[in-house]
Amino acid sequence: MAKSSKLVVARRGRVLMVRRRRDGLWMFPGGRRRAGESERNCLRREIREELPKLKLGPLKLWKEVKAKNRRSGRRMSDAIFLAKKVSGRLKVGDKKEIDRAVWRKPRGFRLTPTSRYICDKLFPRRGRR
């Protein structure tokens, strides 16, 4: 099982991102799995904690990433879920960890290594293969 779960949801060319308070890096919402918790339940719990007004529709596992990030050298162990439907306001719940949540284009800002990997795979830059 993956150590953490991440949510990727896109709408009108924008993706849902949250900014970590400690270093100002942007990431896809989610977090670490607790003992005995499934990856899907981990994600739903993390979203309730980070973005309590957000309601998730069905989740689809896109990919389990167990690799070393080529840019950072950090080992990744993440279950990446896609959601087609979300509703509700972007109100930050855990203000000690997250200071902002927005819908924005997936390029042009500082991302965590795992979120950069996800962006590179799901939202490749035009002209790249």
Token output for 110: 């500082």
Q: Rounded to whole angstroms, how far apart are CA atoms 38 and 23?
A: 28
Asked if 98 and 16 touch (Cβ cutoff 8 Å), the reply is no
Give backbone dihedrals phi and psi of 116, rounded to 5 degrees, phi first. -65, -45
Using CA of residue 98, residue 104, residue 108, residue 111, what is the dihedral sign? positive
Say what the pTM is. 0.87
Q: What is the pLDDT of residues 17-76, one digit of tens each?
A: 999 999 999 999 999 999 999 999 999 999 999 999 999 999 999 998 887 777 677 777
Give the mean model confidence (pLDDT) for residues 103-121: 89
Burial class (CB within 10 angstroms; exposed 0-12, middle 13-18, buried 19+) of 27:
buried
Q: Output b/e per residue, 59-97; b: 16+ Cβ within 10 A.
A: beeeeebeeeeeeeeeebebbbbbbeebeeebebebeee
Q: Rounded to whole angstroms, how far apart are CA atoms 121 and 119?
A: 5
